[in-house]
Amino acid sequence: MLTAASVPVLWRLARLDFDQVRGQPVLLYPEGALLLNPTGAAILELCDGRRSIAEIARMLGERYGADVDADVAEYLSRLAERELIHEA
């Protein structure tokens, strides 16, 4: 169960990429590809295994000028459920 203090990191087998054909960021992993919207990609780019979810949400909140805490937490929880991110 992730909390604001959790430090998320991408699964060892997953990698972020940019698909030139679709002009869209993607998360690639064995037997799967997740097409990402720009916000999803921005969240995952900050999952470096050092920052906490609270820090990631704060950085994005500043970037977008909005409170994104709940959105970031929900997005990462969904990916954790699919085992695409883990706690570092």
Please list the alpha-helical segments (H only) found in the chain: 38-45, 53-64, 69-81
Answer yes or no whether residue 83 interacts with other proteins by CB under 8 A. yes
Binding other proteins by CB under 8 A: which of 33, 45, 66, 74?
33
Minimum distance, C-beta of residue 50 to other proteins, in the bound complex (Å): 18
Task: For residue 78, state whether it binds other proteins (rule: CB under 8 A).
Answer: no
Between strands 85-87 and 15-19, the pairing is unpaired
CA 44 – CA 85 distance, rounded (Å) = 9
Q: Applying CB under 8 A, which residues contact other proteins?
A: 11-13, 15, 17, 19, 21-22, 26, 28-33, 83, 86-87
